[in-house]
Amino acid sequence: MDQDRLNQISNYVLNAFGQHIELMKSFQKLIPIITATASVMADCLNKNKKIMVCGNGGSAADAQHFAAEFTGIMMTERRALPCIALTTDSSALTAIGNDFGFDNIFSRQVEALANDGDVFFGISTSGNSRNVVSAALAAKEVGCFVVGLTGSNLESDLVLTSDGSICVPSKHTPRVQEAHIFVLHCLIDAIDRFLLKVK
pLDDT digits 0-9 by tens, 62-101: 999 999 999 998 888 889 999 999 999 999 999 999 999 9
Q: Quote the pLDDT of residue 172.
A: 93
Residue 151: which pLDDT band, with cuts at 50, 70 and 90? very high
* CATH of range 28-196; options 3.40.50.720, 1.50.10.10, 3.40.50.10490, 3.40.1190.20: 3.40.50.10490
Q: Quote the pLDDT of residue 91.
A: 98
Q: What are phi and psi of 78, to 5 degrees?
A: -165, 175
The share of the chain scoring above pLDDT 70, in percent, equals: 98
3-class state of residue 100 by DSSP: helix
Helices of type H across 107-172: 107-113, 130-141, 157-161
pLDDT at 1 over 80: no
Burial (CB count <10 Å: 0-12, 13-18, 19+), residue 184: buried
Chain mean pLDDT for the chain? 95
Residue 21: which pLDDT band, with cuts at 50, 70 and 90? very high
DSSP letter, residue 149? E
Residue 109: which pLDDT band, with cuts at 50, 70 and 90? very high
The share of the chain scoring above pLDDT 90, in percent, equals: 88
Tell me the C-alpha distance between 64 and 49, whole Å: 19
Q: Quote the pLDDT of residue 76.
A: 80
Please state the rounded mean pLDDT for residues 21-37. Answer: 95
Tell me the C-alpha distance between 81 and 73, whole Å: 9
In angstroms, how far is the first alpha carbon of the chain from the final one?
Answer: 52
Q: Quote the pLDDT of residue 199.
A: 59
Q: Is the dihedral of CA 81, 83, 88, 92 positive or negative?
A: positive
Question: Is 144 within 8 Å of 120 (Cβ atoms)?
Answer: yes
